[in-house]
Amino acid sequence: MTEITAHHGLLKDINLHVDDTGGSGRAVVLIHGWPLSGESWKYQVPALVAAGYRVVTYDRRGFGRSDKPLTGYGYDTLTDDLEAVLTALDLRDVTLVGFSMGGGEVARYFTKYGTERIHSAVFASAVPPYLLQTPGNPDGPLTAAAAAQMTAGLTANQDSFYDDFTTQFFSVDGTLVVTEEQRQEALALAKQASKVAALEAMASFASTDFREDLPRVTVPTLVIHGDGDGTVPFEGSGARTHAAIAGSELQVVAGGPHGVNVSHADEWNRVVIEFLAK
């Protein structure tokens, strides 16, 4: 465990909590979803280490064990945080794995920093290309009314909101497909988030347009998504991301909810490790 300071010019420097398994294997950087932390990868880290990889996870600013500033939750700054982690650890030939909100940092990274450090990329149940439904983005799966309802719910009562959110996160057609213990673990991670950070990050992942970023992803890419995802529906997100990235591979997990890396951990790990070996 270590703390890495991200420097942002006029923005206040912040410390990011990082877990690095070390070792001589090629690095895989796992970027967690909203509103969780790096601990949400507990089913992936041992499997990836066993396959010979060096695994790095970190807590996004405002979440988990990282600093919780009042500002800096736009994707440009969040992507600068990712670059700070890669630079501080001198990581090269890296695979970036972005789950849900974390797929946004992966997409924006290629626009801001190119491919010099990157070997490949994985978009896992990820929010690109553009969640919010607008006249210019009619296929966006998140309506303005639904986004407003989420904001209002979190603002009014975060405990109730997170309880409902984690239930949907792991459900398919209204049925929870993980154990209650697994849902409670995710709920505990959500409650570590700063409320300011959670609201600001929610606005960012809902309203950021990654359609110009995706064509810049020119490394080998895997898109993996559950077909029962009710949080970030596949047709409006994963399917469109796959179509936008030339040569990308697609794996749809049958019966998978949003939190498919927990519900279908063995299948998810197998698919990703097979991709990494290519």
Q: What is the pLDDT of residue 1?
A: 65
Does 139 have pLDDT greater than 80? yes
Q: Count how many domains the chain has.
A: 1
Question: Is the N-terminal amide bond of 46 cis, ω within 30° of 0?
Answer: no
Q: Which domain holds residue 103?
A: 2-276
pTM: 0.97
Does 11 have pLDDT greater than 90? no
Q: Domain containing 165 — which CATH number?
A: 3.40.50.1820
Question: Is the N-terminal amide bond of 129 cis, ω within 30° of 0?
Answer: yes
Question: Residues 206, 147: contact at Cβ < 8 Å?
Answer: yes
Q: Map tokens 């969780």 to a residue.
A: 36
Give dist(CA 215, CA 130) in Å, integer.
14
Does 9 have pLDDT greater than 90? no
**DSSP3 helix / strand / coil % (the chain, rounded to 5):** 40, 20, 40
Mean pLDDT of 190-194: 98
List the catalytic residues. Answer: 100, 229, 258
Mean predicted lDDT score pLDDT of the chain: 97
- Write the single-letter amino acid at 112: K
For the record, the structure tokens of 175 come out as: 């049925």
